[in-house]
C-alpha cells in the first residue's frame, strides 16, 4: 500500500520548493494549496462560500481571493468556516489522486496547515521544512503582493516550528537550498527509496 509522507512548514519556509525536489527524485507530489485553489472554482464550493461570506468577496460574480484572504486571516472563526468548506473537498480529491498512484511506495502530500487541519493523522510520516523567521518574511514579501504586518498575521495563525517539529519524523532546514536538497537525498536513503534523477 502506498505510504503518504506529509510535508509541511510555515509560510515562506519553501516547502513547495522542497516538495518539487522530491518530485524530481521520482516521488509523486500533491500540493494541497494548489488543488484547493482549483477546487474553489467548483460551482458547489463557490455557492457555499457565497452563502457563508456573502457577495462582498465576489467581483462581477468571480471570487476575489484577496478579499476573502483579508477576512479569513483577520478572523480565526472565518478561517475555520472556509476550511470547513474547502478541506473536505480537498480530502476527497486527494483520495482520488492517491488511488491512481498505487505503483508508488511513497507519495508526498504537501500542505501549509497539515497539523492545524488534522490531516497529519492520515500520514505515515511527516517532514517539516523550517527557515529563520526573517528569511521567511523576506521570501513572502518578494513572492506576494503583501505587507510585513500581513505576513506576521498569517504566521500567527499557523503552528510554530517547535510544535510542528515535536510531531515530525524528519526536519529540513531550508535556509540554504543546496544543503536542503542534500537533506532530501538523506531522507530518501533512510527510507530506502530509489532516486530517479532523470
Reported as a single tens digit per residue, the pLDDT across 24-46 is 999 999 999 999 999 999 999 99
**Tens digits of residue pLDDT in 42-91:** 999 999 999 999 999 999 889 998 899 888 877 888 888 999 999 999 99
Contact in structure between 115 and 10 (CB atoms under 8 Å): no
> What's the DSSP call for residue 176?
S
80 assigned ligand-binding residue: no
26 assigned ligand-binding residue: no
Supply the pLDDT for residue 130. 97
Strand partners, 62: 59
17 assigned ligand-binding residue: yes
2 assigned ligand-binding residue: no
13 assigned ligand-binding residue: yes
Residue 198: pLDDT over 50 = no
Q: Which residue has the cell 521520482?
A: 26
**Tens digits of residue pLDDT in 84-114:** 999 999 999 999 999 999 999 999 999 999 9
> What's the DSSP call for residue 171?
E
Supply the pLDDT for residue 197. 46
The 10 Å Cβ neighbour count of residue 148 is: 11
Q: What superfamily does domain 3-189 belong to in CATH?
A: P-loop containing nucleotide triphosphate hydrolases (3.40.50.300)
Supply the pLDDT for residue 194. 67
Residue 172: pLDDT over 60 = yes
Residue 145: pLDDT over 50 = yes
Domain ranges of the chain: 3-189
Residue 126: pLDDT over 90 = yes
Q: Which of 12-21, 55-64, 187-196 has the highest mean pLDDT?
A: 12-21
Give the chain's mean pLDDT: 92
DSSP letters, 92-161, are HHHHHHHTT-TT-SEEEEE-TTTTTTTGGGG-SEEEEEE--HHHHHHHHHHHSS--HHHHHHHHHHSPPH
Amino acid at each position: 500500500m502506498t505510504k503518504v509522507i506529509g510535508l509541511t512548514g510555515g509560510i515562506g519556509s519553501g516547502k513547495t520548493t522542497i516538495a518539487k525536489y522530491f518530485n524530481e527524485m521520482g516521488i509523486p507530489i500533491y500540493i494541497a494549496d494548489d488543488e484547493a485553489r482549483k477546487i474553489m472554482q467548483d460551482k458547489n464550493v463557490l455557492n457555499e462560500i457565497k452563502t457563508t461570506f456573502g457577495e462582498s468577496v465576489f467581483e462581477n460574480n468571480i471570487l476575489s481571493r484577496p478579499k476573502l484572504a483579508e477576512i479569513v486571516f483577520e478572523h480565526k472563526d472565518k478561517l475555520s468556516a472556509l476550511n470547513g468548506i474547502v478541506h473536505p473537498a480537498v480530502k476527497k480529491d486527494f483520495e482520488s489522486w492517491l488511488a491512481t498512484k498505487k505503483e508508488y511506495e511513497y507519495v508526498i502530500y504537501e500542505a501549509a496547515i497539515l497539523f492545524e487541519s488534522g490531516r497529519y493523522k492520515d500520514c505515515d510520516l511527516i517532514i517539516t521544512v523550517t527557515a529563520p523567521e526573517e528569511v521567511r518574511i523576506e521570501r513572502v514579501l518578494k513572492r506576494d503582493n503583501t505587507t510585513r504586518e500581513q505576513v506576521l498575521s498569517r504566521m500567527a495563525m499557523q503552528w510554530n516550528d517547535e510544535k510542528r517539529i515535536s510531531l515530525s519524523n524528519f526536519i529540513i532546514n531550508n535556509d540554504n537550498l543546496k544543503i536542503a536538497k542534500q537533506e532530501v537525498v538523506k531522507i530518501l536513503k533512510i527510507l530506502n527509496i530509489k532516486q530517479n534523477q532523470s
